[in-house]
Structure 1
């Protein structure tokens, strides 16, 4: 991670993707969306969210 990388909470990712909590956790569980755990808190680095979106766009374009 770079110094400018932000760590997003699951609710923040839910809002950005307009998806439900279960769906976001399913994406994390299936490793489609990378995340880290800090104590009991789950965080998603902003580059991981950008990579997920980019990958989905490529899949949809194919």
Structure 2
């Protein structure tokens, strides 16, 4: 089953278990990449994976 290439903000909130406000703040700060499709923002699947990897890296750095 193929994964989606782009997710809506609502889908990203469900995937990452974060609020809509936090998702938009992450996009504004550049920690979560997004693209514009017309008037809407979409989050590439790879950007979600990159954000999770970033969190894991930061977690490892704090544990050391």
Q: Give TM-score, length-normalised by structure 1.
A: 0.89
Question: Which protein is bigger by CA-based radius of gyration?
Answer: 2
Whole-angstrom CA distance in 1 between matches of 2:47 and 2:4: 10
Structure 1 gaps, min length 5: none
Corresponding residue of 1:21: 20
User: 1:6, 1:45 within 8 Å by CA — same for their partners in 2?
Assistant: yes
CA deviation map 1:14-59 (0-9, x unaligned)? 0011111100000000000000001101000000110010011010
Corresponding residue of 2:41: 42
Whole-angstrom CA distance in 1 between matches of 2:22 and 2:39: 19
Q: Which runs of 4+ in 1 moved over 6 A?
A: none
Paired residue total: 59
Structure with bigger helix share is 2
1:5: Cα distance to partner? Answer: 6.0
Structure 2 gaps, min length 5: none
